[in-house]
Structure 1
Amino acid sequence: MTTFEIKDLVQLLRECAGEDEEVDLDGDILDLQFTDLGYDSLALFNTVSRIERDYSVELPDDVVAEIRTPRQLVDLVSTGLTERV
């Protein structure tokens, strides 16, 4: 079974949207707002599109629009992967 963890999200954020030099993505970021991490809605859109493609999971647009933290996104992807099995 495929899993999706914070390390996977951090890697995709770096690849899809870059990284703010002032933010330590290797720290405890699970409950920080994406905006506090330097990511806007376009960065999240690109990252979510990549997640859907790489993990073959469909994430509802209305739910993704409400995502504010990495924890919420990791949980959403994990749920989608579990439901896919």
Structure 2
Amino acid sequence: MASSQFTLEDLRRILLEAAGADENVDLDGDILDTVFAVLGYESIALLETGGRIEREYGIVLDDDDLSEDLTPRDLIDAVNAQLALSGAQAA
């Protein structure tokens, strides 16, 4: 399992591994509050991204956490909430 904190860098890495990047979008820019659809990630790309996050971090995300209408900040917060929950259950 990866670290206990999911970061923007983790998300960028997984997005690139899962779905690549739109050539018109700079993932190294300020993307935290840009919806995934604007970043070029549609539902299938987000499902693949979510699956990779779940496997790597040992968590389960809700379908609502992988919506094109959400932002990277929303997804990072959802992943960290699940990590905190799984950490509390393991303790």
Deviations 1:12-49 (A, max 9, x none): 00000001111110011000010110110000000001
Q: Which residue of 19, 23, 26 corresponds with 2:25?
A: 23
Q: TM-score, normalised by structure 2?
A: 0.86
Bigger Rg over Cα: 2
1:65 is displaced (CA, Å) by 4.7
Structure 2: which 5+ residue stretches go unaligned?
A: none
Q: TM-score, normalised by structure 1?
A: 0.92
Count of residue pairs brought into register by the alignment: 84
Contact 2:12 2:27 in 1 (8 A): yes
Provide the C-alpha distance between the structure 1 equivalents of 2:45 and 2:34, rounded to a whole number of angstroms: 16
Q: Distance in 2 between matches of 1:8 and 1:84?
A: 18
Partners of 1:60 and 1:21 in 2: how far apart? 29
5+ residue gaps, structure 1, are none
CA distance in 2, matches of 1:42, 1:54: 18
**8 Å Cα contact 2:66/2:75 also seen in 1:** no
Residues 30-69 of structure 1 mapped to structure 2, 5 A cutoff: 30-61=32-63, 63-66=64-67, 68-69=70-71
Contact 2:36 2:71 in 1 (8 A): yes
Distance, in Å, in 2 between the alignment partners of 1:37 and 1:82 is: 27
CA distance in 2 between counterparts of 1:64 and 1:41 reads 11
